[in-house]
Amino acid sequence: MSTTKIRLSVLDQSPIRKGVTAEQAIQETIALAKYTEQLGYTRFWVSEHHNTGSLAGSTPKF
């Protein structure tokens, strides 16, 4: 029986929840990235999105 580990990653879109600023949404994304690193996930991805008022970042470069 193989004991190979499955490498998992996380994808986030930096959503701006109701009553939260874009800056706070970015801070939530950073906190999530740190937490997933503690849990042992392989990578943390941020999706790229344009012209969307409900998502905080326009590119995954932060």
How far apart, in whole angstroms, are the C-alpha atoms of residue 48 and residue 46?
A: 7
Q: What is the pLDDT of residue 19?
A: 96
58 Cβ partners below 8 Å, 6+ apart?
48, 49, 50
Question: Residue holding tokens 């344009």?
Answer: 50
Q: What is the pLDDT of residue 25?
A: 93
Q: What is the pLDDT of residue 53?
A: 78
List the pLDDT tens digit at each of the 62 positions of the chain: 677 888 999 999 999 999 999 999 999 999 999 999 999 999 999 887 777 778 887 665 54
Q: What is the pLDDT of residue 62?
A: 47
